[in-house]
A and B are shown apart, each in its own frame.
Chain A
């Protein structure tokens, strides 16, 4: 049974990762890319945790904690940057990023 869970959950998570990567690469605006990369990080947390739960080891718990702590940094810093983009450059600030 655990093999079925591994393949089904792994397949769904891999497909989700591919779709999110597509949104990060293609995403029309910078905000879309930030959101997609944020969800990609959450997907990484879920993948690491699912790996631990399926194989029964606890070696990657520190990785989960660190990812959960620093996950906010990227999106918040980029969000601040987007917020100031219209005032610093009059046009096309987000498109060039």
Chain B
């Protein structure tokens, strides 16, 4: 039953006009992914601090990879290839938020951002508490802005 469906769809997509349309869609998807990557690179160059750059950086990590995987699937038109490509999207969806979260926390604790641009800062009390518990002498300042100033002055 499923094999019949797969065979029928395979003969359908192998007909000449459908194949041309699918190749065209794949080409458009590739161009979109390349544009997203270029936009992220321009954002990384032009944005002022690490957290703003992280905002630009996370765009191609999910949507760009999904677009390219869809382009491959439309261009190659094989169910086996699609099965091999799905883990790429799954792993990107799993790992990109984790790495972005870790890098954002690191950037926050390093003071690599502009405190005036934050609407709400919910991490500051946690960082202050962790700094007191880790180092009784006070390794981290309560105010991230002063930590940045310290490092810049030394």
A interface residues, Cβ below 8 angstroms from B: 1-2, 5, 8-10, 12-13, 15-17, 19-20, 22-23, 29-32, 34-36, 38-39, 42-43, 45-46, 49-50, 52-54, 56, 58, 61, 64-65, 68-69, 71-72, 75-76, 78-80, 82-83, 85-87, 90-92, 94-95
Query: Residue B151 at the A interface, CB < 8 A?
Result: yes
In the complex the two chains form, is A53's CB within 8 Å of B110's CB?
Answer: no
Residue numbers in B under 8 Å from A29 (CB-CB): 50, 107, 110, 112
In the complex, given contacts A23-B53, A43-B41, A87-B135, what are 9 additional A-B residue pairs having Cβ atoms less than 8 angstroms apart?
Answer: A2-B27, A9-B34, A12-B35, A46-B64, A53-B75, A54-B27, A56-B75, A65-B91, A90-B154
Name B's interface SS: helix
Q: Are B105 and A42 in contact (CB under 8 A)?
A: no
- Of B41, B81, B131, which contacts A39 at CB under 8 A? B41
CB closest chain-B residue, reference A95: B151
Asked whether B27 lies within 8 Å of A1 as measured between CB atoms, the reply is yes
Counting chain B CB atoms within 10 Å of each CB, the highest count among A1, A34, A53 belongs to: A53
- B112 engages A61 (CB within 8 Å): no
Q: Kindly report which residue of chain A lies nearest to residue B88, judged by CB atoms.
A: A68
Question: Are A79's CB and B105's CB within 8 A?
Answer: yes
Option from B84, B110, B147 in Cβ contact (under 8 Å) with A82 = B110
> Could you name 22 residue pairs across A and B whose Cβ atoms are closer than 8 Å?
A9-B31, A12-B37, A17-B41, A23-B45, A31-B112, A32-B50, A34-B106, A35-B44, A39-B44, A42-B65, A46-B60, A46-B68, A50-B30, A50-B33, A54-B75, A65-B88, A69-B87, A72-B96, A78-B106, A79-B103, A82-B110, A86-B140
